[in-house]
Each structure stands twice: as C-alpha cells, then as structure tokens.
Amino acid sequence: MVFNAFIAHYKPTFKILFMDRSFVIGIDYGTDSVRSVLVDVSSGVEVSSSVFYYPRWKAGKYCQAVNSQYRQHPLDYLEGLESTIKDCLEKSSIADIGNMVTAISVDTTGSTPIAVNQDGVPLAMLDEFKDNPNAMFILWKDHMAIKEANELNEHAEKYPINYLKYVGGVYSSEWYWAKLLHILRKDEAVRQATFSWVEHCDYIPFVLTGGSDATQLKRGVCSAGHKALFASEFGGVPPKDFFTDWDPLLAPILDHIFTETYTAAESAGTISPEWADRLGLNEQVKIGIGAFDCHMGAVGGQIEPYHLSKVMGTSTCDIVVVPKDEVGDTLVRGICGQVDGSVIPGMLGMEAGQSAFGDAYAWFKKLLMWPLDFMVSKSDLLSTETIESLKEEYESNLLIQLSAKAEELEINLDSEFAIDWFNGRRTPDANQELKGAIGGLGLGSDAPRIFRSIVEATCFGAKSIVDRFESEGIPIKGLIALGGVAKKSPFIMQMMADVMNAPIKVHKSEQTCALGAAMFAATVAGHYASVEDAMHAMGQGFEKTYQPNPQKVSIYAKRYNRYKELGGFLESFTSKN
C-alpha cells in the first residue's frame, strides 16, 4: 500500500526517468565557434558536448577589422552544425541515441543577418557570390552601417508615431535595417539577387526543417522585436512608406516582409529527412524557433524577474524579464529593446549590453602579442617548433598573469583609467562612432596597470546599464553572471561585484546558452508545459557568489564618477567632429 502510494505520487517523475528517457540538443552559435550539447530532459544533465571553431573566420577571411567589417560564411555555420551534433551523439555512447532525441533548438549571435534568394538560399552559397563578403552573414559586431543607423534615427523623428520606442529610442548600426540598407547601397549585384533579409537564428531552423521558400520562413519574435522594429502595436514592422521614404531601395524587400512572429517555445517544424539522415536522428525530431544567444542563455542561467542576467563573452548581453502587468507603459530609454515574449513567453524581455567586453581584453592581448607574432616569428635564433611553442605558452598565460599582477595593485583616484568603448557603445544609448580611451598614463604605467584600467572600464560600463534600468523605473534586484569570463576570471568578477556594490551569482553550467536552447527544445517537444517548468527542472544551479569588498566600494564609486565625466567629454568631442 505504501509503495503503491509512493508510485502514484511520483508517477510523472518515474515516467520521465524510466519510461520516456529522452534527450534534446541545444545549439549555441557564438562569435568564434558553435557549441552543441546533448541534454537529458529529465535532469538537465549535459550528457555530451562538442565545439567547432569556424575555419574561415579563424583564418580571418572576409573581415577588415580596421574598417569594422566582420563577415561569416554560411558554410562555417552549416559545417559546424553537422560536426557538433554528430560528435555529441558519438560521445554519448548511448545505444540508439539517434532515436531518443526529441527536439533541437538554436540560439545565435545577433543581429547577424544575411541576404537570401526566393528559395531561402544565402547568396554566399551560390557560385557567383561565394567569395563576396556582402553576400555573407553580417556579424553583430560589424559597424559599417553607422551612416544608415544615424539616418534612421533622424528619419524616425519626422513621424507622429515613435517607431523606435520599443528599441530604446535609438537604432543601432549593429541591427537589421541599417545593415540591410548598407548592403543594398554598396553592392548592386547583391541588391538585385536579394529576395529577403534573414537573421542567423531564423535561418538555421529553416535549414533543419528543409525550408525551400523564403516566404514560409518563420521569424522569431526575439530577433524581429529587438532588431527589426516588429511590434504588435504597429501590426508588424512599421508601414512600407516609413522605409521607402527613408530610401526607395528598401521597397522590393518590403513587398514580402514578414507579418507574423513566434516565441522560441514554439515549433518551426519537424526535421527534414535529409538532415535526419545526415545527423543520424529520427525523422520525428521537432525543431524550435530560434532566438538570440543571450535570451536563451538567460533561461539556461535560471533568470528571475528583475534580475539582470549577464552573458559575458566577447561582448556582454544583459537581459531582464519583468511581468507585463507590472511594467505598464514604462519604456526604458537607450536599451536594445523590450519585447513581449522575447525571453519567456508571457513576460517582457528587456535587452542591454556592451559592444566590447572580452573583446577589449583580447585587443590588449593582441597588442602585447605583436613582438612574438611579427618579430620573434622571423628570428633565426629559434627553431620553428620553439617559436610556435613559445607563442602558444605566451598567449595562453598572458591574461592570467596580467590578472594576477593587476590584482596586487593599490588603486587611488589618480590611477590609470579607461573608457570601454573599443567597439562603440551599445547601451545605454547606442553610439557606435564612439571610441575607447586610456588616460592617466605616466612613465610608471606598465601592462598590468593598463590592463587593470581596461577591466575596470568594462565593469563601469556594466554599472551604467544597471543605473539606466533603475533610473527608468526598473529595479534590479539581483545579478547573474554567465559565460566564459564569469567562469574563468575571478579577478574580473570580484571587481564587478565591487563596482556594482552587489553580490553576483555565477551559474554552474559551462554552456548556459546551449543549455537554455535545450530547455526550449524540451518545451517544444512537449516534455514540459512551459519554459519556466523546463528551467526549474533542468537548471544546474549556481557555483559561486562574489560579494563586494567594502574596502574597495568607495574608491570605485569615486572613480566611476570620473569614468562618466571622461565619457561625457569624449562623446561631446565625437559629436563635434
């Protein structure tokens, strides 16, 4: 009797664990690589994972950093998709695993769009465009469309309806429409061949479901709302004349613009027979609607209402979710949008972030690597093998040693300071024309001191985002850190806690974005009734909390004021030129 009662009480759990043991795959397309994880639906345990570094991107193809041109070939994405999924299945060592996978969901960087033809094929996949950067994915960090973004901001002021109000009131060169118009203006051949403009996160589900008609491609509300000005209040994107009055070149695209969007908890369809065969999966696998990495990462990191989830990588993407009925008509100026259902269906997702975070450290590392890359490599005193080993050792340990030395430094109000706009400013108030700066230099300024100032600047940039949310009426009740920087750099995380004067929880999972995608996949497959249920059942918890050091909080507060003063001067100087 007791045993029967026990079984009856826990029947749903036993069904998942023993009768319906199922797995899902979460795929996270980052800036440098794609990561896939095979996840047990019942527990969220990551059974296996695989990483694929984009070979063309790694070789520096199609990019011109000095011109802020960053392009990625779709083959990097497609090869990575196949490689990582097959590798995950093989590593699992579970018999018949291909028949136990029920769903796949995908997140990507964004806004990272591409021109496609009417069949939905990226132009770069066609022979005539295979080496044309304008026919490739325009990576989020590509800022060649600054002129177009500035035009759109000025153009929007002419209209009685504020079509920019749900993207913080400022349109960015990192986003959909600015990038589209830039490409249409720059490349006539691409313009003539373009049928539609598609975000990376919408393209991959289209491919996996065997899509062959761009008009049938399902768009996620995440990408459409935060980057393409889609809002239910507007009945979709703003009216056609809003765009054609800006530039008539947009007219052909608008003739077949999307009018519907979907949350990431919905299905894009079922895997195509071709992809099922290629990947070794069954033909019943559900494919979820795609979304941006930080939005799915926030779910993987077990976000809570009014908590700021910080995905900390090459850039940061900061996410807040709030109940719709508690926000009312509140609009937060200068962020990357607030969109119904862009993170969790039924809640408003608010996005902010920094255009350079890990990229700022990578820039400094590259600067210090210059002698090895361009001088030692040509030395006749060392063998090729020794040079390569030296470079590898130097590169892998450089930031670790800089962090250790920087942590030992005593700081005061006059210590070296920096502004973190090395790739422009995303939020608050997008302005990609801004540049980074390092000040307070003297003959005693060495590499650890300069590195410390750059880290401090990125922490100050993060604080300015929190300040903007709170000044606009959205209280931030907690901070959650996700991603590589959060996991690997205690020095940076402790400084962040000191600057914020608030505890910061670091999530346990190594792959929170991919895990978040897996949670959405589990919801799409019907294993859980809601994303929240999947998040609670599959979440891995937190491994550490950084507490602010009271002895450092006051000096950082004073230096933060200096950061704002210098930033204000640099911005006014830029606007005058």
Helices (H), 344-383: 358-374
If DSSP codes are grouped into helix, strand and coil, which group holds residue 59?
coil
CATH number for region 19-301+509-543: 3.30.420.40
Per-residue pLDDT for 7 more than 50? no
CATH fold of the domain at 358-508+547-576? Nucleotidyltransferase; domain 5 (3.30.420)
Residues 6+ apart with CB under 8 A from 503: 478, 479, 497, 545, 546, 547, 548
Q: Report the pLDDT value the prediction gives residue 4, as an integer from 0 to 100.
A: 41
The domain segmentation of the chain, as residue ranges, is 19-301+509-543, 358-508+547-576
- Of 160-169, 276-285, 387-396, 435-444, the least confident: 387-396
Q: Report the pLDDT value the prediction gives residue 573, as an integer from 0 to 100.
A: 81
* Span 406-413, average pLDDT: 95
Cα of 478 vs its chain's centroid, Å: 20
pLDDT band at 21 (very low <50, low <70, confident <90, very high): confident
Q: Report the pLDDT value the prediction gives residue 375, as an integer from 0 to 100.
A: 82
Per-residue pLDDT for 11 more than 50? no
Tens digits of residue pLDDT in 425-465:
999 998 989 999 999 999 999 999 999 999 999 999 999 99
Spatial distance between the Cα atoms of 178 and 223, rounded to a whole number of angstroms? 14
Residues 6+ apart with CB under 8 A from 191: 183, 184, 249
Per-residue pLDDT for 16 more than 50? no
What b/e string do you get for 389-422 counting C-beta neighbours within 10 Å, with b at 16 or more?
eeeeebeeebbeebbebbeeeebeeebbbbbbbb
Residue type, 409: L
Per-residue pLDDT for 17 more than 50? no
pLDDT band at 15 (very low <50, low <70, confident <90, very high): very low
Q: Report the pLDDT value the prediction gives residue 40, as an integer from 0 to 100.
A: 97
19-301+509-543 and 358-508+547-576 in the same fold: yes
Per-residue pLDDT for 531 more than 60? yes
pLDDT band at 519 (very low <50, low <70, confident <90, very high): very high
Per-residue pLDDT for 9 more than 80? no
- Of 8-22, 51-65, 319-333, 472-486, the least confident: 8-22
DSSP 377: G
Q: Report the pLDDT value the prediction gives residue 6, as an integer from 0 to 100.
A: 37
pLDDT band at 503 (very low <50, low <70, confident <90, very high): very high
Work out whether the CA dihedral 281, 111, 225, 538 comes out positive or negative: positive
Phi–psi pair at 490, nearest 5 degrees: -60, -35
Do residues 174 and 111 touch, judged by C-beta distance below 8 A? yes
